[in-house]
Each structure stands twice: as structure tokens, then as C-alpha cells.
Structure 1
Amino acid sequence: MQLINHGIARQSILDMIEAGRKFFELSFEERSKYMSKDVRAPVRYGTSFNQNKDRVFCWRDFLKLDCHPLSDVLPYWPSSPTELRQAAVNYSKETKFLYLMVVGAILESLGLAETTKDIDENDGDDHIIKEFQDGSQLLVVNCYPSCPEPDLTLGIPPHSDYGFLTLLLQDEVTGLQIQHQGRWVTVEPIPNSFVINVGDHLEIFSNGRYRSVLHRVLVNPLRSRISIASLHSLPFGSMVRPSPKLINDANPRRYKDTDFASFIEYIASHEHRSKNFLDSRRLT
């Protein structure tokens, strides 16, 4: 879905897009300072999903900024361009607030809005609101350069996001597609809006009530494209499992417990394609 009237200031959005654009305009020597194979690094510059395993690289560059806790990770973020840190701090705080609002609506839709009240400590849903508040957040600034032969490559191949929810900001250049009823549908950019993508963790948590979104990115022969993904989930040390309140005889448990360590181990040894990680967590 696309979310409008979200309350995030237009200037914060413009500042973040412009700061991201300026980062990718830096020399490769400057950008390459932040290259790392460590997926847990507080800042990482690179391309593709898994540069050790992918047979064909994506037609994109990315800058990933760990955002939690900000006080710990901020010193590691790029100091150039000079406006990047402040723009990313403001943007990450505003998108985190928006994410929590959307999560509240999702919990209500699942009948879990009261999970912080009168729940047995062994139930598994206690304090879930606080877990979301203390959860992980990763900003991914994507740059898709113009491509002379766009039919021969993709910005990102079909995949689902591993987290709970992704709040995606697009610039005015089209490229994002989602799979709907077996066909690819272009998500036309709406100014000052966010695309909300359901991730694998929400599919697991909801025991399949919400389905993660398979999506890909096309490239443009004439124009470069910037997008900013704010990926949110539970804390890195948390176990993601179907909510016990959503499991019964009519709706048996459909997924194994999982955590970030399992995901990192998986992508270290596999190409990240389609919903292959989520498929590895399904119960037959």
C-alpha cells in the first residue's frame, strides 16, 4: 500500500533524498571507505545483496545505516556530505514514529492490541509493544544509475524483505514493481508518500495472515533513481515466531521460530532470491 497524509515534513523527505544523492556523487575513493563484508557493520556501502554469492550483481549502489541505538552508531556514519548525518537522524526518527503507528494498526487488526495488558508472562506476546519500540531500524539509501541496456539487468531481482515492515520512499522516477496475482505491477511514485511493504517477519508473526511482498526494481535507460528504505523489525536478539494468540486448531502454526542470526547465516551461503529465506522457515 501507499501511505499519504503521514505527518512527516516534506522538508525532511527532500533533505534525505538530496543528502543521499550527494553521497553517491562522491568519488569512488571516498565511498569505498565504507565498503564492508560484515552485514552487521553500522555503515556499509556496496552493491547487490551478497557480493560473495550473487552470480550477477544488481544495477545499484547502496548505503546502509544502522539506526539503533543512534547514540552508538552515529559516529560511524559518513561525515561527507556534511548534511547526511543530520538529515538521516531526522528522517530515521520520523520514520520510526510512523512505523510504530502502522504497527499499532496492524496489531489491532490481528486482535493483539491489548497484548501489553493482563497477559501471562509465558504467553509470548507480553511486552510486544515495547519490543517494537526498541526494535531494529536500518536505513538503506539506494542509487540506481541510468542503464544503457535496461532489458539485460535489474536494479534488484525479485525478493521479499526479511524484516517486519519497510517504509519505502521513492523519487519521481518509476522502477519499483510488486507481484500481484502472478503479474508484475509498477508502483507509480506518489509525491510525498511511502510504500509500505510487509516483510517476512510480519508474515511469520501473523502466522500467514499478512503476506510478505515480492518485489523487484527495474532500471531506466535515461535517468538515475534514488529510493530510501527504512527497514524495521524486532530487536536483533529477539526470536521471531507466530503469535500464540493466532494459533489454534483451525489455524495451526505455519512457521518455525527464526532470528536475525539465522537470516545472516542463510544469506551468507545463498543467493537472496524470491522468498527463499521465508520458504526455509515454513512448516510442512
Structure 2
Amino acid sequence: MAPSLDDESSLFNFVVRDGNGVKGIVDSGISKVPRPYIQPPAEQINKKNASKCEIPPIDLSKLDGPEHDEVANQIVRAAETLGFFQVVNHGVPIQLLDSLKQTAHNFFGLPAERKAVYRKEVSPSPLVKYGTSFVPEKEKALEWKDYISMGYTNENEALQQWPMECRDVALQYLKTSHEMVKKLLDVLMANLGVELDDSNIDAFIGKKMVNMNFYPTCPNPELTVGVGRHSDMGTLTILLQDGIGGLHVKVPEIIDMEKKEEWVEIPRIPGALVINIGDIYGVMEDIKVRSIEYEPQVQNLECLYQYLQVLEQHKRLHHYLK
């Protein structure tokens, strides 16, 4: 039964407690964004005023050849100045990335009762959480998204506890992307005078998570956000955009000799992965790497999916940076 959009308690129960998510609201046939999802003007991004990021993607395959130093410099420069960059020829097959997209489509298309079993309050596994918005019980304005988050400890636990609709493809992606992650960390940490080897690599990779975010079609996308502006805790976030795009990041700009910041849209490049530098680099002494605020924007014509691999800081990381 569809909720009353004017009854916030009914809407909250339908979306959050019953597991229908934002998708359930959209499927009910709404023609306007419900009031709890309307963001304050300061949180809204005017897409018409946002410029496009024209920085070309970095070809990671060249790290294995004579152009290694040049490509490494590109990575470091992007990390220090922008806090993000896109990579191609990263070693993750395009077919696998396409399978990730289909996997997310399959999961979020499940009936609400199938997804609701993974709500944080009732999930049978501490590794898996399905929800909507960030902390919907406390937020003044809700985010226009549904998500499934899967924490990784080991393969056996993932096989037993991750949703069957997601686990096989997500695990394959984690395995396949491991070499790419090592290459990126090798370059970033070498710039800080730290050499990675088998004794410390796990500390820099840290805890791994796979998040799949779903941003349903929105009748008034200018009034709401998919995820509120934020920077990521941890080491790196690897993000795959679907065919719609919609990711905006805040970047520094010098205007009339003054440093200002503006929102720019990260264009969707087929087969590319977006690398976001996490906050952990920004709080370490003498480290120049920049973390960024970013915000996915919802669309009024098509649904948007995002797939994130998050590498959280390991508790021993500071030991290796002394």
C-alpha cells in the first residue's frame, strides 16, 4: 500500500521500516518530491552552473612500461591538487563491470520484504546493511537513494552472509581489482617515502567494503540530492558510474588571485573507474594528498547506480608512516 506523502510518519515507515526505500515511493507514481526529501538551498547544486571536468583519464597499464614515472607523476599530481582522478586500462574486465551494474539492478528490483531482511536493525549479518539515506532517523532532509553495503572479512564469510544476488560478482570484483589497488597505493605511498611490501600492504589496504547505491528517477532532481556532500573516510574509494553519470566534486580554483572552490561534474567515461582520495591522507603530518567533497546528483529521466569499493584505514597504518 502506497504511503500518504503528507503524513511523514507513514512515509518514514513505508520507506525505512518496511524496506520499500525511495524506489518504493517512485514506483507508487509520485509527481513531486515529498517534503522530507527537499534539501536546504545551501545543499542543492545548480547543475546548470557546474562545469565539466576535462581532465583525461590516466592509463594505468603504462605503469608497467617505460612511461611509469610519467604516469606515476600524473597520479600524484591529481591526488595532491584535485583529490580524484579517473583510470582506464586498470585490469578489471569491462564485462565484469557490466555484471556489477546488472547485479545492482537485480538486487534493488527485489520485493521490499526480500531487501528488508538486511536492514541494519534486523540484518542476520553485521557485514551486510540495506537502507536508505544516511541516518534517516536523525536527518533533517533525507537523501534520494537506497543502498546495500557489504563488509569484507574473508571469502567464506562473504559467501555465507552476503546477499546471493550480489555476492559472486562483488567477490570477483574485489579479487580482480586487488592488483589495481596495489599499483595505486605503491605510487601514492612511494611519493611519501614509504615502500609497500608483503609485511605492510594489508595495513594500507585496510578493511574492504563494497557498496551499491541506487538513485531512482526523481520528479524534481534540483530539490534533492543522492548523497549529501561529503568526503570519504579511509584510504581510497573506487567508484564505478553507470551510463547516466551525475557525480559532482568540489575542486579548488583561483579567481582574481583568491582561492575559491566550485562544483564540477565528473563525466562518465566508458570502462573507467573514479579514484577518490580518502580523508586519512589529509590528517597525516607532512602529507599533501587532498581529500575531496563529492555529491552524486539524481536524475529526472533515468535511474542512477553507483558501485563503490571502500578501503578503510587500518589501525596500524600510522605505525608505517612514522
2:226 to 143, 148, 155: 155
Q: Which whole-Å CA distance do the structure 2 matches of 1:206 and 1:231 have between them? A: 23
| Larger Rg, first or second structure (1 or 2) | 2
Match of 2:158 in 1: 73
Q: Does 1:95 align with 2:202?
A: no
Identity over aligned residues, as a percent?
A: 29
> Aligned in 2, Cα 1:20/1:170: closer, same or farther, shift over 3 Å?
same
TM superposition score normalised by structure 2: 0.66
Aligned pairs, number:
229
Q: Give the partner amino acid of 2:297.
A: L
Kindly state the Cα deviation for residue 154 of structure 1 after the two structures are TM-superposed. Answer: 0.2
CA RMSD in angstroms, aligned pairs only: 2.2
Q: How does 1:45-64 map to 2 (within 5 A)?
A: 45-64=130-149
TM superposition score normalised by structure 1: 0.75
Contact 1:8–1:94 (Cα < 8 Å) also in 2: yes
3-state SS of paired residue (2:239): strand
3-state SS of paired residue (1:73): helix
Kindly state the Cα deviation for residue 152 of structure 1 after the two structures are TM-superposed. Answer: 1.0
Per-residue deviation, residues 49-81 of structure 1 (Å, max 9, x unmatched): 2233222111000010112222223311112x3
3-state SS of paired residue (1:162): coil
> Aligned in 2, Cα 1:11/1:111: closer, same or farther, shift over 3 Å?
same
Kindly state the Cα deviation for residue 163 of structure 1 after the two structures are TM-superposed. Answer: 1.1
Kindly state the Cα deviation for residue 146 of structure 1 after the two structures are TM-superposed. Answer: 0.7
Q: Which whole-Å CA distance do the structure 1 matches of 2:224 and 2:321 have between them? A: 42
> Aligned in 2, Cα 1:147/1:74: closer, same or farther, shift over 3 Å?
same
Q: Does 1:209 align with 2:281?
A: no
Match of 1:193 in 2: 272
3-state SS of paired residue (2:229): strand
3-state SS of paired residue (1:156): coil
Match of 1:131 in 2: 203
Q: How does 1:141-152 map to 2 (within 5 A)?
A: 141-152=212-223
Q: Does 1:27 align with 2:111?
A: yes
Q: Does 1:183 align with 2:265?
A: no
Q: Which whole-Å CA distance do the structure 1 matches of 2:153 and 2:187 have between them? A: 23
> Aligned in 2, Cα 1:206/1:185: closer, same or farther, shift over 3 Å?
farther
**Structure 1 residues without counterparts, runs of 5 or longer:** 118-126, 246-284
